[in-house]
């Protein structure tokens, strides 16, 4: 979760992310299924962002998301990651799944470029980005 926070430049304290994950873990039984556990954790964090509330586990009067802007935008990004996870549940090719999940978690520029440009091939999008970067 903290990797997603960093990749998307969420200006949320790491302690808030950690606290939300621990709180989620206390409320549910882990499935020991990577997809289900990650999907559930992301969904829970999305809910926290939309509510604007993650309580400090050591001081329930302290909202760790107080005065943090862009929480709805952060929640939208997390929703997009979960949509990728759902999409991948119907794909058989492991390389495609790996690439899509990696790109979603890493906020990959090539993934974004391929969507914006309407390019189906990740390699084509990466080549376009490389050419653009070389010709700056």
Q: Are residues 79 and 95 in the same domain?
A: no
64 and 125 inside one domain = no
Residues 104 and 76 in one domain: no
Asked if 37 and 24 touch (Cβ cutoff 8 Å), the reply is no
Locate 30 and state its tokens.
């882990």
In terms of domains, do 64 and 5 share one?
A: yes
Q: What does the pLDDT look like over 55-69, one tens digit per residue?
A: 999 999 999 999 999
Domain count, the chain: 2
Average pLDDT over residues 19-46: 90
Instruction: Give the mean pLDDT of 12-35.
Output: 90
Judge residue 52's burial from the number of C-beta atoms within 10 Å of its C-beta, 0-12 exposed, 13-18 middle, 19 or more buried: middle
Task: Return the residue matching tokens 């050591």.
Answer: 58
Note whether 80 and 129 are same-domain residues. no
Digit-coded pLDDT (tens) for 97-134:
888 988 998 887 555 555 555 555 555 555 555 555 56
The whole-number pLDDT of residue 109 equals 55
- Whether residue 46 is found in the same domain as residue 21: yes
Q: Which residues form the domain of 8?
A: 1-86
State the DSSP code for 69: -
How far apart CA 18 and CA 50 sit, in angstroms, is 17
Are residues 77 and 121 located together in one domain of the fold? no
> Which of residues 86, 110, 127 is at a domain's end?
86
Average pLDDT value for residue range 79-86: 94
**Residues 127, 64 share a domain:** no
Q: Is 15 in the same domain as 73?
A: yes
Say yes or no to pLDDT of 93 above 80. Answer: yes
Choosing from 68, 86, 104, the residue where a domain stops is: 86
Q: Do 68 and 124 lie in a common domain?
A: no
Task: Give the end-to-end CA distance of the chain in Å, rounded to a whole number.
Answer: 33
pLDDT for the residue 34: 81
* Residues 100 and 125 occupy one common structural domain: yes
Total H helices, total E strands in the chain: 7, 2
- 69-72 long-range contacts (CB < 8 A, ≥24 apart) are 69/11, 70/11, 71/12
Q: What is the pTM of this model?
A: 0.76
pLDDT reported for residue 113: 53
């Amino acid at each position: 979760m903290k990797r997603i926070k960093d990749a998307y430049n969420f200006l949320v304290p790491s302690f808030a992310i950690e606290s939300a994950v621990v709180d989620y873990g206390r409320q549910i039984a882990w499935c020991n299924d990577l997809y289900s556990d990650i999907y559930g954790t992301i969904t829970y964090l999305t809910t926290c962002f939309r509510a604007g509330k993650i309580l400090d586990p050591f001081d329930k009067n302290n909202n760790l998301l107080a005065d943090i802007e862009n929480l709805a935008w952060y929640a939208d990004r997390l929703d997009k990651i979960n949509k990728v996870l759902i999409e991948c549940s119907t794909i058989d090719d492991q390389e495609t799944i790996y690439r899509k999940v990696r790109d979603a978690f890493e906020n990959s520029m090539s993934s974004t470029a391929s969507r914006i440009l309407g390019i189906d091939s990740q390699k084509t999008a990466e080549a376009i980005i490389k050419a653009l970067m070389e010709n700056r």
